[in-house]
């Protein structure tokens, strides 16, 4: 499969004021991301997730090592527009991402900066707003919308640039459960349309549908694999002070009670199946 992102020995340090030491936020990260894949990244606060995200679209440049996005080196000044167009980012707080007083202008902002024809921009804006189910809000003022609706507008703004990759940095952290579900549904649909999705989140239920889960810990990749592979190592995850999906927790408890439940069950349906199988054996 085509690698759309290649990260080699990435070290990133934030420089501190004079006298104090630099902060090493990423410590030798090596990753390759398949085109069209859906990768979830989890890790406790300060583990380097946002720093990694910003290194994926040239908002931050490696201190050491390299990041290639669709063949472009993020450290190469001449590539920055190519990279920004290919790798869009959605952040936690929608209020910080909206720039205009009318929804459609906001969504048009990115493509306008790319110098795209007005006719094409209009088409893209309409399509992007439909993709996030916000078509009827086209002429509304963003500040009158709910947090979830604002986040959908922010996503539309990124979608309108036709990126190959979208990096979501805790996009649902400020939303209520209903808003979270809507955003997740949109992310899944964008993935189905072929966009490479990288989702940073601390909600376990948002991780279990990913192709791949990466756990960051102290600037390093602690675990990397399918959700099944990663959550089979519940002890390692707990040592990193992270929660595990509720079904993994339940599986552990049932095993302690002596039930023969296989490791790595992460979804409700799988647990039901395992329990039914036990029942039929008895």
Q: Which does 14 bind (CB under 5 to 8 A by kind): ligand ADP, Mg ion, none?
A: ligand ADP
| Closer residue to ligand ADP in complex, CB, 60/261 | 60
**Shortest distance, position 43 Cβ to Mg ion, whole Å:** 9
- Measuring CA to CA, how many Å separate 87 from each of 64, 156, 165, 168? 21, 14, 5, 10
How far is the C-alpha of 94 from the C-alpha of 172, rounded, in Å?
10
Q: Which does 79 bind (CB under 5 to 8 A by kind): ligand ADP, Mg ion, none?
A: none
- Measuring CA to CA, how many Å separate 144 from each of 147, 226, 263? 9, 40, 47
Site string for ligand ADP, 234-273 (x = CB under 6 A): ----------------------------------------
Which residues, 176 to 235, sit near ligand ADP by CB under 6 A? none
Provide the 8-state DSSP code for 56: T
Of 17, 20, 45, 281, the residue at the interface with ligand ADP (CB under 6 A) is 45
Q: From 49-57, 116-124, 142-150, 258-266, give the range in contact with ligand ADP by CB under 6 A.
A: 49-57
Edge-to-edge order in the sheet of strand 72-73: 23-34, 3-14, 64-69, 72-73
**What DSSP string describes 237-255?**
HHHTT----HHHHHHHHHH
Closest CA to 11 of 58, 91, 67: 67
Which residues, 38 to 77, sit near Mg ion by CB under 5 A? 49-50
Instruction: To the nearest 10°, report the CA torsion of 62, 110, 139, 182.
Output: -40
Q: Which does 45 bind (CB under 5 to 8 A by kind): ligand ADP, Mg ion, none?
A: ligand ADP
Q: From 41-49, 141-149, 204-212, 258-266, give the range in contact with ligand ADP by CB under 6 A.
A: 41-49
Contact in structure between 180 and 203 (CB atoms under 8 Å): yes
Of 9, 46, 99, 177, the residue at the interface with ligand ADP (CB under 6 A) is 46
Interface residues with ligand ADP (CB under 6 A)? 14, 23, 25, 43, 45-51
């Amino acid at each position: 499969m085509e690698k759309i992102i290649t990260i080699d020995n990435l070290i990133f340090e934030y420089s501190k004021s004079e006298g104090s030491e630099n902060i090493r936020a990423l410590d030798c990260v090596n990753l390759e991301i398949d085109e069209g894949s859906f990768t979830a990244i989890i890790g406790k606060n300060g583990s380097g997730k946002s720093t990694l995200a910003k290194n994926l679209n040239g908002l931050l440049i490696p201190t050491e090592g390299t990041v290639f996005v669709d063949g472009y080196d993020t450290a190469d000044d001449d590539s920055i527009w190519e990279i920004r167009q290919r790798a869009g980012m959605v952040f936690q707080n929608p209020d910080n991402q909206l720039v205009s007083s009318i929804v459609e202008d906001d969504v048009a902002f990115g493509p306008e900066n790319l110098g795209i024809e007005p006719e094409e921009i209009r088409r893209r804006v309409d399509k992007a707003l439909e993709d996030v189910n916000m078509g009827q809000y086209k002429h509304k003022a963003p500040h009158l919308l709910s947090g979830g609706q604002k986040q959908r507008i922010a996503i539309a703004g990124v979608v309108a640039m036709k990126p190959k990759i979208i990096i979501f940095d805790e996009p649902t952290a400020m939303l209520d459960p209903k808003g979270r579900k809507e955003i997740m549904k949109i992310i899944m649909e964008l993935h189905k349309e072929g966009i490479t999705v990288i989702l940073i989140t601390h909600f376990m239920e948002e991780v279990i549908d990913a192709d791949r889960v990466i756990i960051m810990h102290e600037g390093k990749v602690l675990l990397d694999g399918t959700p099944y592979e990663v959550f089979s190592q519940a002890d390692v995850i707990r040592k990193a002070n992270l929660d595990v999906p509720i079904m993994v927790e339940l599986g552990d408890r049932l095993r302690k009670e002596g039930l023969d439940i296989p490791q790595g069950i992460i979804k409700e349906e799988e647990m039901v199946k395992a329990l039914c199988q036990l029942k039929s054996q008895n």
